[in-house]
Amino acid sequence: MTVLVLAVAAYLFLKISAAEAKYDVADVRIGSGVGSIRVVFDAVTDFQYKVFLLDSPKRLVVDFQDVSINPAVESSDNVNNSLIASTRLGSLNGDETRVVFDLKKSILIKKVFMLPPQSSFGWRFVIDIEAASDKQFKESVGNDRVFSSNESISGAKNTRKSTVAENAKNQAGKKKRIVVLDPGHGGKDPGAIGYSGIHEKNITLAMARELKALLDKDPRYKVYLTRNNDVFISLRERVNIARKYDADMFLSVHADSAKNRNAIGLSVYTLSETASDKEAAALAERENKADIIAGLNLVEHSKEVSDILINLAQRETMNRSSEFATFMVGEMKKSVKLVSNTHRFAGFAVLKAPDVPSVLLEMGYLSNRGEERLLKQKGYRAKLADATKKAIDKYFDNMHHASVF
C-alpha cells in the first residue's frame, strides 16, 4: 500500500510539474463522497479567488484573480459524481478568469480553503460542496453570497489581499468543530474495578470533564459529554448522541483491567474492518434505511445500494478514525507508558456511528497498582488531556484526509 501511495504521489507531482511551467493552475480534480463532492485545484502559487452559486441554470462559479489556468480543466472527469455535470473555462474583463461547474442538482458550498505545499503536493485550492434542497440553494445564490480570499462570506467590498493564515482563520470561524466525549460506563454499570476498589466509571467521568474544560478554552471547538453524572447510558444511545450533535469526532474514554496485575500501558482502539462490514448490513435492516448517513435518505435506494453507501461512509469514517488514532499514539508516547501495538482494532459497539470518526481510549490498567494510582491523580489526567488536545488539534489542522486526494 505504501508503494502504491508513493507511486500515485509521484505521478501527481510529475503531472503537475509538467504543466506548472506554463500555468498557475495546472489541474482540477473532482472526488465523490456520500452526498458530497470535493473539488481540488492544483496550483503553483497562492492566489485570490471568489466562489459563489448562480441559478437558471444551476452553476458553481469560481473567479480567479491574476491566474493562468490550464484549458485542460474543461476535460475534468465529471461522469462519476452526483453533483457536477460539466466544467467550463472563460475569461472576464481585465485580469480575472472564471471556471464554471454546471450542476446536476441543487448544492450548498460547505467549505472553501487554500492548502499550502505539503509533501509532494504544491498549492491546493479546495471547495467542498454537498447536495441540498432547492430552497437552500436559492437562499445561497448570488454575488452577495461569496466565499473569497478576502472574507469568508460577505457582500462587502474588501480589496485587501488575504494571507493564508487569515483564510484559515476565516474558515475556522464559520463552524466550530463538534467533539463528543463519552465517559465509559456509569450508573448500574461500574466498569472495571481497580486495584484499590475504585470504579472505572468515576475515573472516566473525571477525565472527560477535565478534557472538556481544556477544549472549551479553544474557540474552535464545541464540546458535549454523553453523560455528566453517574447515570447508565446504553452503547447504542451513546452513538445516537454523537449523531444527534452532528459530531465531527467521538472519543470514548475508558480504563482497562486484566487478570495479570503487571499489565500496564495506554491503548487506542478504532473499529475493525470486519466489524464495520457487519454493522453496515445491520444498520440498513434495523434502521429501515432511513437517514442513516448525514441526511442521506436511504429509503429511496435498494437494499444493495443502501448497504454499499453505508459501507462506503463507514470506510471513510474508519480512515479518519485511524488517522486520529495515529495522532493520539504519537502525542501520548511522548509522556506516558503505552502498550505494544498501541493502535488496536475491535468491534466496539460504541465506535459504530457510520458517519462520525470514533476512537476509544483505554487510559491504562486500573488492575495495576501503580497505574491506578496515576489515574486517580488530577495531574496525571491533565497530562493525558493535554496530549489528547494536541492530537485533536493535529487531526483537524491536517487536511490530508482520504477525501483530499
Separation between Cα atoms, residue 380 and residue 21, nearest integer Å: 54
299 and 377, same domain (yes or no): yes
* Side chain identity at residue 182, one-letter code: D
State the CATH number of the domain containing residue 383.
Answer: 3.40.630.40
Residue 404 in any domain: the answer is no
What strand order describes the sheet that includes 147-148? 84-91, 96-103, 59-65, 48-54, 147-148
Same domain, 245 and 145: no
Q: Which of 174, 206, 232 is the endpoint of a domain?
A: 174
Same domain assignment for residues 254 and 359: yes
Q: What secondary structure does DSSP assign to 20-32, as a single string?
A: HTT-SEEEEEEEE
Structural domains counted in the chain: 2
Query: And the C-alpha cell for 115?
Result: 492548502
Domain end residue (candidates: 174, 209, 240) = 174
Residue 164 shares a structural domain with residue 294: no
Domain co-membership, 251 together with 325: yes
Q: What is the pLDDT tens value at each position of the chain, 405 positions in all?
A: 444 444 444 444 444 444 445 788 988 988 766 567 889 899 988 888 999 999 989 999 999 988 889 888 887 766 577 889 999 988 776 678 999 999 999 999 988 888 888 756 788 898 989 888 898 999 899 766 788 876 544 333 333 333 334 444 444 444 789 999 999 999 988 888 988 999 999 999 999 999 999 999 999 999 999 999 999 998 888 888 988 898 999 999 999 888 888 889 998 888 765 543 444 344 334 433 333 444 444 444 455 555 555 555 566 677 788 888 888 999 999 988 888 888 887 776 777 776 788 898 999 999 999 999 999 999 999 999 999 999 999 888 874 333 333
CB atoms within 10 A of CB 250: 29
Query: Are residues 164 and 239 both part of a single domain?
Result: no
The answer to whether residues 218 and 307 belong to one domain is yes
Residue 138, domain CATH: 2.60.40.3500
pTM of the model: 0.53
Q: Residue 283 and residue 290: Cα distance in Å, rounded?
A: 10
Do 271 and 217 fall within a single domain? Answer: yes
- Among the three residues 174, 199, 214, which one is the final residue of a domain in this structure? 174
- For residue 35, give the DSSP letter: S
Angle at Cα 127 formed by Cα 393 and Cα 67, nearest 5°?
115
What is the DSSP secondary-structure string of 253-313?
A: EEEE--SSTT---EEEEEE-HHHHHHHHHHHHHHTTTSS-BTTB-GGGS-HHHHHHHHHHH
Supply the range of the domain harboring residue 150. Answer: 2-174
DSSP string, 212-267: HHHHHTSTTEEEEES-SSS----HHHHHHHHHHTT-SEEEEEEEE--SSTT---EE
Task: Based on the fold, state whether residues 326 and 362 are members of the same structural domain.
Answer: yes
